[in-house]
């Protein structure tokens, strides 16, 4: 799938069938996005260590820490720092499940043409096929990785046992779950 460089990410505004609003955030050095439609709330992290579940408005959200899942090390836990102060938990629904996603920094909401996302490269064939739905190139050097919250849930914690997830997912405009049959594998220049 080729990317049309004429299409740009924009602030939320008038929509068309192929655009969706995403919440952009950072974990480690990588910028990620999730569909804003599934986000319930974004909260500062005021308890440490982070508990396994967060209660909000009488609802329990199991926490998922991508830093742990992606094995990219943890931020300093002793004392306060600029980095730890910016950490947030994104309360969201993923399919029929709830989760609190722990992230380093939350940026903004962006309206992005879903066609700008392409599947992750073919040789990323481990659990990352579950975690990441696609990747888009929003500026000349940086990539935006679209997270699949259901995949993170499937990979973290005993509650995922016995559940199956698709190995690939097809990106469809308007599909909030991002699940589907096998997707094409992109080649540069194709």
Partner 1 sequence: MSAIRSEPPAFVERRQFLTFRLGGRTRGLDSTRIVRVAEIHHVTPLPSDLRCNLGLVTHRGVVAGLMDLELLEAQSTAPQIALAENRATSTAKGSPEDAAETPNTARSLDRRGVPEGPFFCIFARFPGGVAGFAIDELLQLRTVSMSEDNSGDPAEPAKAAEALPFEIVELDTLQIFQ
In this structure, the number of other CB atoms found within 10 A of the CB of residue 29 comes to: 8
In this structure, the number of other CB atoms found within 10 A of the CB of residue 4 comes to: 9
Using a CB cutoff of 8 Å and minimum separation of 24, what contacts does 4-12 make? 4/115, 4/116, 7/113, 7/115, 7/116, 9/110, 9/111, 9/112, 9/116, 9/136, 9/138, 9/144, 10/110, 10/111, 11/108, 11/109, 11/110, 11/111, 12/109, 12/110, 12/111
76 binds partner 1 (CB under 8 A): no
105 binds partner 1 (CB under 8 A): no
- For partner 1, the closer CB: 31 or 61: 31
The structure tokens listed for 121 are 């490269």
Task: Give the chain's length.
Answer: 190
115 binds partner 1 (CB under 8 A): no
Question: Which value, in Å, is the radius of gyration of the alpha carbons in the chain?
Answer: 16
Rule CB under 8 A: choose which of 16, 17, 29, 78 binds partner 1.
29
107 binds partner 1 (CB under 8 A): no
118 binds partner 1 (CB under 8 A): yes
- For partner 1, the closer CB: 4 or 46: 4
Rule CB under 8 A: choose which of 59, 107, 124, 167 binds partner 1.
124
Interface region with partner 1, contact rule CB under 8 A, candidates 34-42, 55-63, 135-143, 175-183: 135-143
127 binds partner 1 (CB under 8 A): yes
Rule CB under 8 A: choose which of 13, 49, 73, 181 binds partner 1.
73
- For partner 1, the closer CB: 98 or 152: 152
CB 148 within 8 A of CB 132: yes
Q: Which residues bind partner 1 (CB under 8 A)?
A: 2-3, 5, 28-31, 69-73, 118, 120-128, 131-132, 135-137, 140-143, 145, 185-190
């Amino acid at each position: 799938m080729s990317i049309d460089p004429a299409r740009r990410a924009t602030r939320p505004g008038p929509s068309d069938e192929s655009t969706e609003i995403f919440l952009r955030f950072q974990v480690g050095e990588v910028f990620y996005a999730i569909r804003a439609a599934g986000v319930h709330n974004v909260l500062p992290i005021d308890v440490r260590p982070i508990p396994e579940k967060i209660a909000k408005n009488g609802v329990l959200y199991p926490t998922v820490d991508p830093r742990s899942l992606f094995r990219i090390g943890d931020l300093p836990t002793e004392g306060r720092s600029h980095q730890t102060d910016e950490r947030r938990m994104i309360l969201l629904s993923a399919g029929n499940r709830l989760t609190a996603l722990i992230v380093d920094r939350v940026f903004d909401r962006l309206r992005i043409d879903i066609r700008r996302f392409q599947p992750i490269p073919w040789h990323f064939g481990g659990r990352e096929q579950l975690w990441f739905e696609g990747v888009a190139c929003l500026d000349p050097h940086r990539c935006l990785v679209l997270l699949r919250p259901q995949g993170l849930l499937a990979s973290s914690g005993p509650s995922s046992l016995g559940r199956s997830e698709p190995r690939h997912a097809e990106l469809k405009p308007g599909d909030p779950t991002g699940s589907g049959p096998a997707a094409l594998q992109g080649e540069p220049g194709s």
